[in-house]
Amino acid sequence: MTVEQLSFADLPEADEFTSAPLRETTFVVVDLETTGGSPENDRITEIGAVKIRGGEVLGEFATLVDPGRAIPPQIVALTGITTAMLYDAPAVEAVLPSFVEFARGCVLVAHNARFDMGFLRRSAARAGLPWPFSASLCTVVMARRILSRQEAPSVKLFALADLFDVSVRPTHRALDDARATVDVFHRLLERVGDQGVRTVGDLTTYLPRATPAMRAKRTMASGLPHRPGVYLFRGPSEEVLYIGTAVDLHRRVSGYFNGSDTRTRIAEMVSLATRVDHVECAHALEAGVAELRLLGVHKPSYNRRSRNPQRGWWITLTAERFPRLKVSRTPGTESLGPVTSRAVALEVADVLSGAAGLRTCGADLKKASHHWCEGPTEAGRLPDPLVATLPGTCRAASDRPQTLPDYLCRVEAVRDLISGRSDSLLAVLCERVEYLAQQRRFESAARARDRLSATIETLARTQRLAAVAQRPEVVGARPDGAGGWELSVVRYGRLAGSAHAARGVAPMAVVERLRAASTTVLPPADDSGPLAGAPAEETALIERWLYESGTRLVDVSDQLSLPIGAAERWRDFARIARSAREATSR
């Protein structure tokens, strides 16, 4: 049975910690590194903890942990922890007793305690070990209560470390992050010292907690299963107020009634709710897709994201005689996107137009045998359509006329980049950034770097999603963490069917039944765009699931791969550029 992680507000007032003065209470600040974000499916790779009392450090605990599986590449890039580093590390079953002894009799503190405590409790349950800590303090909850939005727009650990200028900076390694959390915890306690907060009980009273009316609605979650799925909060007129997804429906919905979610609009939504409906799903991917589809149908007023899954901006190569890149709401045969921001889409279109020399003027060239855009004329030229502009007025600007054959080779370079046949234009843009840096024009180089980074991200995302959306059928299987398999059938970028093969059940027999029962998806029209008409958010969920560590391709009707010139190999440039931009903005 799943046990919900409590806060101190859920404990009886007689609890031994509630009356203890903060300066005399021993806290253990803990941080974990893991193979991913799901306590059910992922594993701990590192534990770091610092024991403190009265502002002094009493001891530290740090160890790597063998997760029994390979470390996903994105986690290696984030933390620097590789599979080889964990080869001789102890298993979590050997580590947890030592950690429990280190922290026994103390109050646990973590930044985003739900995440860390969820992993620790789940790991203890798997190992058959008791977990003696009934509650914890969360510095995320503390920061949201104590700091204003103007002072701390973000309560991520890196942002709070910068805000308080802590002595140890977080590095995505467990002990460093625990040390940084200690400093953040102390700074937050300093802020409430003059507000009558003297004991642990005072602190938990000061922090957000559920109202009696909110707690009275806990029965809405009593009938929900401990299974993945989608939940729908309904209002007094049966209207859908809010839609969410969960790997454990009962636990997730129960969390809305204990005050752990500090968002004002969510508290308002819970106060209006009269019941919670649910749709049980085979696994998390099916739940995520079902959530997107239900959001598109109901458009609930308390959901802010994904209510319009079809909206977005596309960068499309037009079918004019002298093609150009146009930003619009609908894709064309040769398009990039969708991009959520029109400004970013216009910027990417401008970057590509500048690299290839495509025109950016909107003049209609269809009705004339030739066309001049404020340019000089030349006698004796053939009456083919021509484009000439004064430099600075258009990306195709030149001081001489250009014939159609001159121009079409530029268009072909953009087509090759969009399709992934060649990335030569990205190489040209990268050389431009290096040239500006060598000329010590650093602000121009940074601007060009950021524009190129956005272009690479847009290209790479479109090409990855197109690789999935253009396959007639892909059958994938992913371990469920308990000896069984999560199964999915994907057709033209849409989830056509899902199933779960429990441990001991032959998965291939389930696969065959699933394929026969899955939704038929007709082949897309030629002008349906790179995603074959599939919703981009749904295809993105599927693409991430297929490429997660551990997922296996059971069958695919065509080769599932990226073209040789795909922008994916430039992602490191984009990642480094993003890191540099974030470091500059701090």
Helices 139-146 and 113-127: angle between axes, nearest 10 degrees: 160
Best CA proximity match to 197, nearest among 51, 30, 20? 20
Instruction: For residue 251, report the phi and psi dihedrals to the nearest 5 degrees.
Output: -65, -45
- Among the listed residues 172, 186, 298, 370, the single catalytic one is 172
List, as one string, the DSSP characters of 460-523. Answer: HHHHHHHHHHT-S-EEEEEE-SSS-EEEEEEETTEEEEEEEE-TTS-HHHHHHHHHHHSPP-PP
Phi (first) and psi of residue 58, to 5 degrees: -95, -25
Cα 446–Cα 447–Cα 448 angle in degrees, nearest 5: 90
Query: 3-class SS at 242?
Result: strand
363: phi > 0 → left, psi -120 to 50 → alpha, else beta; which? beta
Rg (CA), the chain: 28
DSSP string, 92-155: HHHHHHHHHHHHTTSEEEETTHHHHHHHHHHHHHHHT------EEEEHHHHHHHHS-TTT-S--
Q: Is 167 exposed, middle or buried (0-12, 13-18, 19+ CB in 10 A)?
A: exposed
Indicate if 111 belongs to the active site.
Answer: no
Look at residues 100, 104, 32 and name the one whose alpha carbon lies nearest to residue 67.
32
Residue in the structure block whose two tokens are 């993105």: 540
Question: What residues contact 42, with CB distance under 8 A and at least 6 apart?
Answer: 34, 35, 36, 67, 119
**DSSP label at 316?**
E
Three-class DSSP labels, 71-107: CCHHHHHHHCCCCHHHCCCCEHHHHHHHHHHHHCCCE
Neighbours of 353 (CB within 10 A): 20
Beta bridge partners of 555: 475
Residue 391 makes CB contacts below 8 A (sequence gap 6+) with 397, 398, 399
Nearest to 8, CA basis, from 127, 151, 146, 113: 113
Picking from 333, 329, 335, 330, the residue whose alpha carbon sits closest to that of residue 316 is: 335
CB 324 within 8 A of CB 358: yes
Cβ neighbours of 158 (radius 10 Å): 16
The b-or-e profile of 173-197 (16+ CB within 10 A means b, else e) is bbbbbbbbbbbbbebbbeebeeeeb
| SS3 of residue 211 by DSSP | coil
- Rounded to 5 degrees, φ, ψ at 106 are -115, 165
Task: Give the CA distances from residue 57 to residues 32, 241, 287, 574, 578, in Å, rounded to whole numbers and listed in that order.
Answer: 19, 47, 44, 40, 35
199: DSSP letter: B
Catalytic site residues?
Answer: 172
